[in-house]
Homo-oligomer: A and B are copies of this chain.
Amino acid sequence: MAMQRSERTRARMSDVAAHSGVSLKTVSRVVNGEAGVSKALTERVNEAIAALNYRHNFVASSLRRSQGRTKTLGVIVDDIANPFFSKFLRELEDIARERGVEVLSGSVAGDPEREAELVENFISRGVDGLIIVPTAKDHSYLESEVELGTSLLFLDRPAGNLNIDVVISDNASGIKNATTGLIAIGHTRIAYLGDNDSLFTATERFIGYQAALKEANLKFDPEIAQLSLRDKQKCRFFLSKIFSGANRPSAIISGQNEITVEIIRFLHSLNLQNEIALIAFDELPYAELLSPKVATIQQDIKAIAQIAAEQIFARIEGAEGKPRKIVVPTQIDVQESALIKPITKSGSASRR
């Protein structure tokens, strides 16, 4: 059996050169696919590479290469286990690989300090560009990096006080369209439950909800619309409150995944799932297995990855021009829960 460690050493280019009787530079040319090496020599070099089991040392190569390019893209997200980010990373990986670029990713887990640490670490590792889902409030610490040539792009939310390329979903429109749809089928009392009000995405979505109400001349009632409900206890408490009174909502918009789960649990516990309409932001895995099927507002992860990749690779390759803010549309997946109508005063049924 093979040993885990050994004294044997990897073959270097010079070994390949010696073995094939050519100069170091010729080997380099062959390895890098540069033109101008005769067929005969190319063949001899390739034989030596196979014979010596030579592996190109990318670290040494990066060090010397012009501008120290490492063909590595750093991606800093909140949590790579979050399906939104893991799907994004997968899409990005495929695009990057076509260019021979690998993706180095890291999770911040809501900690701004960890964001800064990761940025510094990734830059030390010589990433050619950095895609950041910003957690910190102040990103001025990145200015010097930008000046020194590291290309940067913000994802999912814009960064505090740093004007840089950003790619985000159209949070507000997604929620606005969903709300308007509910109004169209007769709902006038629509509750809104959203994420932490310090989050850009949470406030954007809330704005969309309010805009839809305004457009329909419906009054915004803070009694049934609230942010910062990510905490399960708070969320359940809020739900009990709004459903205990006489003036219940007939529909709910959820601004976040985990909140959606609490809402569904709550509705099922009171057997209200077929009476109260529900549209939820973000994909809910297996939403179509639930009864009624839950309507969702989906972000176009593939498009986001495609656009973000194009933009940052363009910058890495030297594209100038002022920072762009690219907004990617969301799409409503209309399912049963979005089609539930309010119970009318005449008492006609609400079941789809």
Residues of A at under 8 Å CB distance from B? 1-6, 8-10, 53, 55-60, 62-63, 68, 70, 72, 79-81, 83, 86-87, 89-90, 93-94, 97, 102-107, 120-126, 143-144, 146-149, 151, 162-164, 261, 264-265, 268, 284-286, 288-291, 315, 318-320, 322-323
Is B120 within 8 A of A55, CB to CB? Answer: yes
Alpha-carbon distance A80/B162, docked complex (angstroms) = 31
Instruction: Kindly report how many copies of this chain are found in the complex they form together.
Output: 2
B163 engages A1 (CB within 8 Å): yes
A2 to B321, CA, bound (A): 11
- Say whether A102 contacts B90, CB under 8 Å: no
Q: A56–B124 contact, CB under 8 A?
A: yes
A62 CB to nearest B CB, Å? 5
| Choice from B3, B63, B97, B261 contacting A320 with Cβ under 8 Å | B3
Chain B, residue nearest A74 (CB): B102
- 26 interchain pairs (CB within 8 A)? A1-B322, A2-B147, A4-B146, A4-B319, A4-B320, A5-B318, A5-B320, A6-B148, A6-B149, A53-B144, A55-B123, A56-B124, A57-B124, A58-B125, A59-B70, A60-B63, A80-B89, A81-B86, A93-B107, A94-B107, A102-B121, A102-B122, A102-B125, A103-B105, A265-B289, A284-B286
**Which residues of the other chain, B, contact A121 by a CB distance below 8 angstroms?**
58, 102
The reply to whether B124 and A55 contact each other, CB–CB distance below 8 Å, is: yes
Across the interface, A268 reaches (CB within 8 A) one of B4, B123, B291, namely: B291
**CB-defined contacts of A6 to chain B, threshold 8 Å:** 147-149
Set B57, B87, B164, B289: member contacting A126, Cβ < 8 A? B57
